[in-house]
């Protein structure tokens, strides 16, 4: 069962990331610098790429901690506050740097999936947005996060 589950999540993660990267590659320089999210924070497509990179690193750390019986984020973690500091922590990357970072972090995520044991998929930890979720749901969240922000960029640039 675990082999099929691993294949499923690897395929979804590859597909979602490829869609995001293909969108970035289709944009011109002006579009890459255009704010597409401007609720509490103003983010361009390149800022979103930095956000996805940082976020996946964080979720991978969560999975590691869960697998080792450790806590993830505390109850009441302020995700909006955390996200408001993105540009200070990550800056706005150049396109090639963003692409390289996204590819590297996803490759590490895919390698990590190969090490998950059958009994570990249901281990749980606290995700800052979704609450208590299991390891399988972490991978679901990673793929969904890519898709969510792909839609944000398309909507923000009037490409939908």
56-98 pLDDT, tens digit per residue, is 999 999 999 999 999 999 888 888 888 888 788 888 899 999 9
123-151 pLDDT, tens digit per residue, is 999 999 999 999 999 999 999 999 999 99
Alpha carbon of 125 to those of 72, 111, 130: distances in Å? 6, 20, 10
43-63 pLDDT, tens digit per residue, is 999 999 999 999 999 999 999
Give pTM, 2 decimals.
0.93
Q: Is the pLDDT of residue 40 over 80?
A: no
The whole-number pLDDT of residue 7 equals 97
Q: Is the pLDDT of residue 6 over 80?
A: yes
Number of separate domains in the chain: 1
Residue 63 belongs to domain with CATH number: 1.20.120.450
Give the SS3 label for residue 116: coil
pLDDT band at 1 (very low <50, low <70, confident <90, very high): low
The answer to whether the CB of 66 falls within 8 A of the CB of 125 is yes
* Lowest model confidence (mean pLDDT) among 18-22, 83-87, 106-110: 83-87
The answer to whether the CB of 102 falls within 8 A of the CB of 17 is yes
Q: Containing domain of residue 144, as a range?
A: 2-156
């Amino acid at each position: 069962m675990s082999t099929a589950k691993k294949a499923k999540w690897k395929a979804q993660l590859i597909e979602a990331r490829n869609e995001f990267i293909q969108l970035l590659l289709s944009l011109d320089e002006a579009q890459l610098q255009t704010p597409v999210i401007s609720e509490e924070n103003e983010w361009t497509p390149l800022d979103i790429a930095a956000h996805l990179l940082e976020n996946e690193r964080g979720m991978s750390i969560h999975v590691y901690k869960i697998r080792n019986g450790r806590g993830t984020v505390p109850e009441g973690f302020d995700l909006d506050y955390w996200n408001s500091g993105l540009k200070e922590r990550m800056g706005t990357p150049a396109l090639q740097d963003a692409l390289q970072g996204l590819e590297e972090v996803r490759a590490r995520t895919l390698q990590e999936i190969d090490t998950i044991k059958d009994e570990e998929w249901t281990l749980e930890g606290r995700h800052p947005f979704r609450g208590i979720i299991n390891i399988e749901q972490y991978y679901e969240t990673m793929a969904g996060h890519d898709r969510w922000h792909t839609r944000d960029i398309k909507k923000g640039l009037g490409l939908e």
